Chain A
C-alpha cells in the first residue's frame, strides 16, 4: 500500500467513526450545548473582563484623563489601591467585608431554619405539616425585598433611622426596637436567610425524605440514642444538601440588591451589590470589576464545596432505596412547636401581604382611620391633580402596569420554556454519555451560571449587548433569564434521568423507534413531574426576579419588578405596595394553576 492509500483509509476510518459518533442524538445534543454554552457563558465572561480594562466615555474618561476606548488598568488601581479620602476602603473593601458577613450569616440562617423545618416535616410526627409545607415556599415565591419593606414598616420607630415615624410595633405596642435590629447587617442577613430558607427546606428535605433508612434503623436496633443518630448519621447524609444550599444562598445573597438598599442605606451600610449599581452609571469599569469579584467568589465557594463533598455529583442527587422511616414522636412538644412554627410562617409569609394591602389604600402614612383610606391607588383617575407620584390613574387602570405585567409573563414563559427544554436535553444527554469528557464539560458549563450572582450576570450581558447590535430588548432579557435558570432546569433534568432505567429506552431502540419519538412518547411522559419542575422553577423565579434584569431592562417600566423598584426608590409607597401585591398574587396564581394542571410543584424543583 502506498502512503496515499494509507492516509485515505485512515481518513475513511476517521470519517466513519465521526459519523457513527454523530449518529447518536446524545452526542449531537452535547456538541450543540457545548457550542451554545461557550457562546452564552464564556464569551460574555470575556466581554466582562474586557470592560474592566476599558476606559468608558463620560465621567470615567474625564477622571482617568484618557480617551474613551483606551485599554488601561486605571479601574483596578482606583478601586483597589486609592488611599486618598479612603476611596478603596469605602468603595470596595468595607462593602466587600459587609457582603461576606451578610452572605455567610444568611446562609447559616437559611440552613438552620430551612433544615430544621425540613427535618421536622420529614422525620417527626409534627402537626399541620400540609400547611407548613405549603406556606414555607411563600418567601421564595415573593420578591425578596417584600420582607425587607415589611421589616422596616413593622419595626421602624422615632429613635432610629430617619427618626420620623413609628411603625406598627412602636405605634401599636409601644415597643421600640434598637437600630441594629431594624437596619444594617442583622436584618439584611435575617431577611435574606428567611427568603432563601425554602432552598434549604427543599434540598435538605428531599435528601431526608429519600435517604436510606437502614442506617438509622440499624443504629436504633443497637440502641443508639436519638441525638447521636441525628448527629452521626442523619447530618453526614444531608451534608451535601447543606453544602449546596450554602453555595446557592451565599451566591444569591451576595447579589441581593434591593434588600440592602432598603435596610442598609438608612444607616449607611453598603454591600458590593449596592456599590456596583451606584458605580455602574458613572464609573462602569469599576462596577465591572466588582461583578468579576462576585463571580470569583462564587467559583471559590464551589471549589471549597467540591473539596468538602469530593464530587459535585453528590450535590443534590438522591440515591438509594427508601424504606419506611420511623418518625420521631415529638410527644407533648408537638403542638407548641407546630403552633410556634405556624405563627412564624404567618408573620413571615402572610402578614406582609396584609400590610401591603393596607398600605396601598392609605393616603397619609401612619393614619389608619377610614377617612384616610382610598382605592385611588388601585382604581383612581386624575391623580396627578393631588399627588406628586407620576401616575394619573390607579394601577389597575394604568396601561403601563398591564403592559409590564404582559411583558413579565411572556418573559417568564419564554425563559421557562427555553431553560426547561434545554434542561431536559442536557439532562438526557449528560446521563446517556455519563462519564465522558464532553458530558462533564457540558454539565460544568450548564452549572456555571449558578455561580454567577444575578447582578453580575446582568452586568455581563449588558457588556456583551454593547458589542452586539441585535442583542437587546426582549431577546436580551430572555437570553439572560434562560442562562441564569438553566442550572436549575438541568439539575431537574439530570435527576429525572437518573431515576430512569436505561432499559426502557433500549427496548425502544431495538424496535427501531426514532429518537424524537422516544423522547416524546416514552422518556418525557414517564418523568413528567420531574421535568415540569424544571419549567416551573424558572417561571416563578423569573416573575419575581429583579437583580438579574435591573441593568438590562430598556426602561424601568418594562417589567413589573423593576417598575416596583423604581416606585419604591421614588417613595411612591402606595403604588409600590399595590404593584407588589399584584406581583405576589400573579406568581401565586401561576404557581397554583401550573400545579393543578400538571402536578409540578416548586418543592420538587429547586436544585433537583
Chain B
C-alpha cells in the first residue's frame, strides 16, 4: 500500500514537472503562404484538421467567421474578446488550445507581441501591391476605426464644440462621457498621444485660438498633459461604447458629449436622431474642430505562432482583406479599409478626411510612455 502511494506521489509530481509539448515552427509556412493565391491557400487549408479558432476584439468577427465557414466548409470557432484579454491569452495559453489567428488592436502591445514571437505577420499576395507600406509592416492593418466626439443635440445647451479645450471648461464638468482608459488600451493610447510633442504643440495653438492668450502650463510638462488632466477631470466614465451611445442618445441627456466608436450609431438601440457627430457638422459647414475631432486606430490581423491550422489562418486573413470578407464591417459607418479601392459608406467621410482630423496611434511613442500612463491613471482616479 505504501509503495502504491509513493508511486502515485512520484507520478503526480512527474506530471507537474513535465514540459510544454513542442509546437511545429510555422514561420516557413507563413513565408511560403505570402506568395500563394487564394486557391493555393485554400487547398493547403483543406488538408489541415481540427477546429479553426479565431480571437477577435470586434463583435462582427462572428459574422465574418460564419460566412467564411459556409464558403469553405471549415468549422470555425470565433471568440470576441477584449484586446488585453487576447494578449494575455496568447501568452498564458502558450499554444494550448489557443487561437490560430487573431484580429487585434493596440499597436504598442502588438509590437511587444511580435518581438516576443507570439504572432506572425502575413501579407496576402493579393494586397501586397495595393496597400501602403505602413499598412503592411510590421503588421497587416485590416481596418481603421474611429472614436469621435459625438454630442446630444437636444435642449438649449448643445455642446457643439469647435475646439477641444471647450471640454475642459468648468461648465462641462460631468458632461463629457468616455470609457475608462484603464479598461481599454486604445483609449489610453489616445491620451498618451496627446502628450506627444507634435500634438502638444497643436494643442497649445488650439488653446491660443480658444482663449486668445498663450497657454500657462503651470506644473504641466506641455499642453498635452494639461489638456489630458483637465479633460479627465471633467469626464464621467461609461461602462462601454455601446452603453455610452445608448445613454447619450436619450432625450434626458441634453448638454452631454461623448467620445466613442462611430460604428455604434448603427445600432437600433441608439436614438441616432438625438446625436450629432461633431466632425460631420464641421465638414458640412466648412469649419474645423481644433486640433482634432477624435482619434483613430488600426485593427490588425495576425497569425498565431502556435497555430495548428496556419494555412487556414492565412486563408482567413486573405478572405478578410477581400471585398466580401470586409463586408460585415464595410456595410456600415465607422470602419475603413486601408485598401483604397474600397469605397466608404454613404454619409460617412473618407479615410483621408479622418486621418487629417484625428489623432493617429503611434506605437513607437506609446511603447515607452510609462510615466505618461501613470500620469493618466492618476487623473483617472480623481
A interface residues, Cβ below 8 angstroms from B: 18-19, 22, 28, 31-32, 35, 39, 43, 56-59, 62-63, 68, 82, 84-87, 90-91, 94, 158, 161-166, 262, 265-266, 268, 270, 278, 280-282, 284, 363-366, 384, 386-392, 462, 465-470, 472-473, 554-557, 566, 568-574
Our pick among A85, A365, A469 for the contact of B269 (Cβ within 8 Å) is A365
Contact B266 A388 (CB under 8 A): yes
Contact A18 B2 (CB under 8 A): yes
* Pairs across A and B, CB under 8 Å, 18 listed: A39-B12, A84-B374, A86-B378, A86-B381, A87-B374, A163-B174, A163-B175, A265-B180, A265-B237, A270-B381, A365-B246, A365-B247, A366-B250, A384-B63, A392-B66, A469-B18, A472-B96, A566-B80
Among the listed stretches B86-94, B134-142, B291-299, which one makes contact with chain A, having 4 or more residues with CB under 8 Å of it?
A: B86-94
CA distance A84 to B96 in the complex (A): 39
Given A58-B91, A278-B183, A387-B269, do A164 and B250 touch, yes or no (CB 8 Å)?
yes
CA distance A365 to B183 in the complex (A): 24
Name the CB-closest residue of A to B255.
Answer: A163
Q: Is B243 an interface residue (CB 8 A)?
A: yes
> Within 8 Å CB of B21, what residues of A?
469
CA distance A468 to B19 in the complex (A): 7
Contact A266 B269 (CB under 8 A): no
Q: How far is the CB of A83 from chain B (nearest CB, A)?
A: 11
Name the CB-closest residue of B to A35.
Answer: B9
Given A18-B2, A90-B377, do A571 and B244 touch, yes or no (CB 8 Å)?
yes
CA distance A74 to B377 in the complex (A): 19
CA distance A384 to B328 in the complex (A): 9
Contact B237 A282 (CB under 8 A): no
Contact A162 B20 (CB under 8 A): no
List 20 other contacts, CB 8 Å, given A84-B374, A387-B268: A31-B5, A35-B12, A68-B116, A162-B238, A165-B247, A166-B252, A270-B381, A281-B85, A364-B271, A387-B267, A387-B269, A388-B59, A390-B62, A466-B92, A470-B15, A555-B79, A566-B80, A571-B238, A571-B239, A574-B269
Contact A57 B116 (CB under 8 A): yes
> Within 8 Å CB of A574, what residues of B?
269
Which B213-269 residues sit within 8 Å CB-CB of chain A? 236-244, 246-248, 250, 252-253, 256, 263-264, 266-269
Q: Mark B290-312, 1 if CB is under 8 A from A, else 0.
A: 00000000000000000000000
Name the CB-closest residue of B to A472.
Answer: B96
Contact B87 A85 (CB under 8 A): no
> Within 8 Å CB of A82, what residues of B?
374
Name the CB-closest residue of A to B21.
Answer: A469
Contact A363 B112 (CB under 8 A): no
Contact B378 A85 (CB under 8 A): yes
> Within 8 Å CB of B183, what residues of A?
278, 569
Q: How far is the CB of A18 from chain B (nearest CB, A)?
A: 7
Q: How far is the CB of B360 from chain A (nearest CB, A)?
A: 21
Q: Is B74 an interface residue (CB 8 A)?
A: no
Among the listed stretches B163-171, B200-208, B365-373, which one makes contact with chain A, having 4 or more residues with CB under 8 Å of it?
A: B365-373
> Within 8 Å CB of A62, what residues of B?
112, 367-368
CA distance A556 to B89 in the complex (A): 11
Which B1-23 residues sit within 8 Å CB-CB of chain A? 1-2, 5, 9, 12, 15-16, 18-21
Contact A57 B91 (CB under 8 A): yes
Q: Mark B103-114, 1 if CB is under 8 A from A, else 0.
A: 000000100110
> Within 8 Å CB of A470, what residues of B?
15
Q: Is B348 an interface residue (CB 8 A)?
A: no
CA distance A78 to B381 in the complex (A): 17
Our pick among B79, B88, B174 for the contact of A280 (Cβ within 8 Å) is B88
Contact A364 B236 (CB under 8 A): no
Given A59-B109, A84-B374, A365-B250, do A388 and B263 touch, yes or no (CB 8 Å)?
yes
Contact A468 B16 (CB under 8 A): yes
> Within 8 Å CB of A57, what residues of B?
91, 112, 116
> Within 8 Å CB of A392, what residues of B?
62-63, 66
Given A84-B374, A365-B247, do A163 and B15 touch, yes or no (CB 8 Å)?
no
Given A85-B378, A281-B84, A473-B97, do A556 and B79 touch, yes or no (CB 8 Å)?
yes
> Within 8 Å CB of B269, what residues of A?
363-365, 387, 389, 573-574
> Within 8 Å CB of B79, what residues of A?
555-557
CA distance A574 to B243 in the complex (A): 11
CA distance A244 to B268 in the complex (A): 50
Say which size band chain B's interface belongs to. 35 or more
Contact A555 B19 (CB under 8 A): no
Contact A388 B371 (CB under 8 A): no
Contact A281 B381 (CB under 8 A): no
Name the CB-closest residue of A to B377.
Answer: A90
CA distance A374 to B113 in the complex (A): 43
Given A281-B88, A557-B79, do A165 and B253 touch, yes or no (CB 8 Å)?
yes
Q: Across chains A and B, which 4 residue pairs bring their CB atoms closest together, nearest first? A: A571-B243, A390-B59, A571-B242, A281-B84
Which B96-135 residues sit within 8 Å CB-CB of chain A? 96-97, 109, 112-113, 116
> Within 8 Å CB of A32, what residues of B?
5
Contact B253 A163 (CB under 8 A): yes
Contact B116 A58 (CB under 8 A): yes
CA distance A306 to B111 in the complex (A): 52
Given A281-B88, A570-B240, do A268 and B264 touch, yes or no (CB 8 Å)?
no
Our pick among A18, A163, A388 for the contact of B267 (Cβ within 8 Å) is A388
Given A281-B84, A365-B246, do A389 and B267 touch, yes or no (CB 8 Å)?
yes
CA distance A39 to B15 in the complex (A): 12
> Within 8 Å CB of A22, what residues of B?
1-2
> Within 8 Å CB of A270, what residues of B?
381
CA distance A390 to B78 in the complex (A): 11
CA distance A317 to B368 in the complex (A): 57
> Within 8 Å CB of A462, what residues of B?
92
Given A363-B268, A364-B271, do A570 and B242 touch, yes or no (CB 8 Å)?
yes
Our pick among B5, B66, B85, B248 for the contact of A164 (Cβ within 8 Å) is B248
> Within 8 Å CB of A467, what residues of B?
16
> Within 8 Å CB of A68, what residues of B?
116
Q: How far is the CB of B208 from chain A (nearest CB, A)?
A: 28
Name the CB-closest residue of A to B265.
Answer: A388
CA distance A392 to B81 in the complex (A): 17
Q: Is B342 an interface residue (CB 8 A)?
A: no
Given A87-B377, A162-B247, A390-B59, do A63 and B16 touch, yes or no (CB 8 Å)?
no
Name the CB-closest residue of A to B381.
Answer: A90
Q: How far is the CB of A145 from chain B (nearest CB, A)?
A: 12
Our pick among B59, B63, B112 for the contact of A59 (Cβ within 8 Å) is B112
Contact B240 A58 (CB under 8 A): no
Name the CB-closest residue of B to A463.
Answer: B92
Which B268-293 residues sit within 8 Å CB-CB of chain A? 268-271
CA distance A555 to B86 in the complex (A): 9
CA distance A574 to B269 in the complex (A): 10
Our pick among A43, A164, A391, A473 for the contact of B247 (Cβ within 8 Å) is A164
Given A58-B112, A387-B268, do A469 and B96 touch, yes or no (CB 8 Å)?
yes
Q: Is B380 an interface residue (CB 8 A)?
A: yes
Q: Is B211 an interface residue (CB 8 A)?
A: no
Given A364-B271, A388-B266, A554-B97, do A85 and B63 touch, yes or no (CB 8 Å)?
no
CA distance A162 to B247 in the complex (A): 8
Which has the most chain A C-beta neighbours within 10 Å: B174, B268, B371? B268
Contact B236 A163 (CB under 8 A): yes
Q: How far is the CB of A477 from chain B (nearest CB, A)?
A: 13
CA distance A256 to B332 in the complex (A): 39
